[in-house]
C-alpha cells in the first residue's frame, strides 16, 4: 500500500539520481503530513524525485497498449471515508499513547510483526465491511512512524490483516530485499505461498 500512500504523501521537486539506499540527489521543499510535524521521508528520498524530464522507456507504447486503453487512469489515493470518491486510502493520525494491538497476519513472512496502533478510530479503505483491499495507514505523530496493513479486519478485539509494514518517515531505510509493502502484497498475493499465521 505504501506505493500509493507514499505517492500521495510525497512532494516532488528534484531531479532523480538514486541508489539502493533509497536516496536521491538534490533537495526538495517538504510539507508535513496533515495533522503532524512529520515530513514525508527525508528530502533526499527518491519518493521526492521529479521524473518528468526523464526519457520514456522505448517499450512504453507497447505496455500502455495492454493497460485498459478504453479507461482513463486515476490515482488511487485520496479520501474514501465519506469525504470523497469510493477509492483511496485514508490516513489515521494518532499519538504514541494510542493503544497498540497484536495483529495476526495471513502473510507473516514479509510482515513487520510488532504491535500496531489500531482501534475504533482506525480508518480502513472502503470501510470495515467493504470487502475490498481494506488498507489501513496509521501515522504516529509522536514518533513519525507509519504503520500500514492490507486486508485489515477486526472481530471483537482481535485484529487480522493480510500483511503489515512499518516505516520511519525520518529515514531512507528500506525493507529487506524482495519484501513488498502491505500495499503491494495485495497485488502479488495470488502468486505467493501462504506463510504460517504468526501473531506479532
Side-chain-side CA neighbours of residue 87 (13 Å): 7
The whole-number pLDDT of residue 130 equals 82
pLDDT tens for each residue of 29-81: 578 888 999 998 898 888 888 888 899 999 999 998 888 888 777 666 665 55
Taking the complete model, does pTM exceed 0.85, yes or no? no
The more confident residue out of 46 and 15 is: 46
The whole-number pLDDT of residue 9 equals 45
Strand pairing category for 163-168 and 145-150: antiparallel
C-alpha cell at 76: 488511487
Count of CB atoms within 10 A of residue 149's CB?
Answer: 31
The whole-number pLDDT of residue 186 equals 41
The more confident residue out of 54 and 193 is: 54
Amino acid at each position: 500500500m505504501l506505493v500509493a500512500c507514499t505517492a500521495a504523501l510525497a512532494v516532488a521537486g528534484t531531479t532523480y539520481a538514486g541508489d539502493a539506499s533509497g536516496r536521491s540527489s538534490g533537495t526538495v521543499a517538504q510539507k508535513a503530513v496533515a495533522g503532524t510535524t512529520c515530513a514525508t521521508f527525508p528530502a533526499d528520498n527518491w519518493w521526492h524525485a521529479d521524473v518528468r524530464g526523464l526519457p520514456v522507456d522505448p517499450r512504453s507504447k507497447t505496455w500502455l497498449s495492454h493497460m485498459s486503453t478504453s479507461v482513463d487512469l486515476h490515482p488511487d489515493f485520496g479520501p474514501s471515508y465519506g469525504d470523497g470518491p469510493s477509492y483511496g486510502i485514508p490516513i489515521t493520525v494518532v499519538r504514541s499513547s494510542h493503544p497498540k494491538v497484536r495483529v495476526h497476519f495471513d502473510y507473516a513472512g514479509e510482515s513487520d510483526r510488532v504491535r500496531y496502533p489500531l482501534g475504533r478510530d482506525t480508518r480502513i479503505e472502503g470501510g470495515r465491511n467493504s470487502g475490498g483491499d481494506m488498507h489501513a495507514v496509521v501515522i504516529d505523530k509522536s514518533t513519525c512512524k507509519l504503520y500500514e496493513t492490507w486486508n485489515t479486519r477486526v472481530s471483537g478485539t482481535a485484529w487480522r490483516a493480510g500483511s503489515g509494514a512499518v516505516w520511519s518517515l525520518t529515514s531512507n531505510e528500506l525493507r529487506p530485499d524482495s519484501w513488498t509493502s502491505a500495499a503491494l502484497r495485495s497485488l502479488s498475493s495470488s502468486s505467493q505461498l501462504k506463510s504460517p499465521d504468526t501473531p506479532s
